[in-house]
Structure 1
């Protein structure tokens, strides 16, 4: 449960503002105006602090609440601009399109890929197979995971498929994320990019129905994650 005791605004107002930003990609100044029309007077810098503070905690709750993923994954990375430089958003979905996990990294290399796969497996369990593109670093990351599995005596290793057309689904899934981040014209700091993307990914999971709260409005599902 997220603690709102030190907040100077009602919990529902804060969560509604955070959800609106990460779901629709409006500017902070536009969001300030939208809230003011609804009787909530808050400046854009405070809205930014809310997104950075609360989005990661809500994302962690979403990861624990989402339905179990299939054991066939599609993994790929895409680009996000931070401080004028490209950084890398690692993402994986299952064969049905459900989000497995995501991770922002300043580098695109074997170490980052290995870290992403370890995080994803820790959060979701072992997949039977993972489809990737021709990236050597992503293949190396999966091979490292198989080496670890072998060393601990695991009989079944992860099947690695490098088939581009099978990976089209995750590439298409990137579009929702890019649709929201592109108008933001880049982030000013890595930690704020991490936090905002965590919120965007959570809103995307809710949009896909991964929290299985049928009939409940999306923003209410988002708010319920705060406890």
Structure 2
């Protein structure tokens, strides 16, 4: 934009994200491929307006964010709400769920999806733990979130869009990575409507 002589403020970018981001994220979710059959779940606290809120996140074995939910509690009821959201949106049940040792996950799974294998191991859950890092970075840049609903809106949009461009770079060859990113940027241009 600056190269073309267009002056854009941070507030303009924020307004664009608010106006177009959710629609782009919805299109990306609709077009995303099949998720993995192993889900890693974790929760992390966010301090919003002086109170602790919990960001629940599910990630598949490839590192793709399945979904997130911001809630004020960390109990069995909150875990059940998160599982209902995951299962309702994805219309699929994973074969295996890996979590840390929080007891709420086990209680919720026994009630909602009792046949799914549940592995409680903090070391095996590093994929979900690492997926919180971009959120922490965004939280610092934005000087924290002002409300739980704002955090939910922003983080669900951000995770869907970042899924499009974040690839496990260390797992593939450079030529494969370039081809994959070329295809993903072409998809992005179609979703944004910038291709005639």
1:135 aligns with 2:102: yes
Counterpart-to-counterpart distance in 2, 1:180 and 1:224: 26
Summarize deviations over 1:125-149 as a string: whole Å, max 9, x none.
Answer: 10111011111222222222126xx
Gaps of 5+ in 2: 169-176
Contact in 1 for aligned 2:65/2:160 (Cα 8 Å):
no
Residue aligning to 1:159: 117
Residue aligning to 2:48: 82
Q: Per-residue deviation at 1:65?
A: 1.6
Match of 1:54 among 3, 8, 20: 20
Aligned length: 183
- Using CA pairs below 8 Å that are at least 6 residues apart, which structure has the higher relative contact order? 1
Q: Per-residue deviation at 1:223?
A: 5.0
RMSD value over aligned CA atoms? 2.7
TM-score with structure 1 setting the length:
0.69
Residue 68 of structure 2 aligns to a residue in which SS? strand
Residue aligning to 2:33: 67
Residue aligning to 1:224: 190
Q: Do the aligned partners of residues 37 and 194 (structure 1) sit closer, same or farther apart at CA in structure 2, a change above 3 Å counting? A: farther
Q: Do the aligned partners of residues 44 and 98 (structure 1) sit closer, same or farther apart at CA in structure 2, a change above 3 Å counting? A: closer
TM-score with structure 2 setting the length:
0.78
Q: Do the aligned partners of residues 139 and 48 (structure 1) sit closer, same or farther apart at CA in structure 2, a change above 3 Å counting? A: same
Residue 100 of structure 1 aligns to a residue in which SS? strand
Residue 52 of structure 2 aligns to a residue in which SS? strand
Counterpart-to-counterpart distance in 1, 2:110 and 2:95: 14
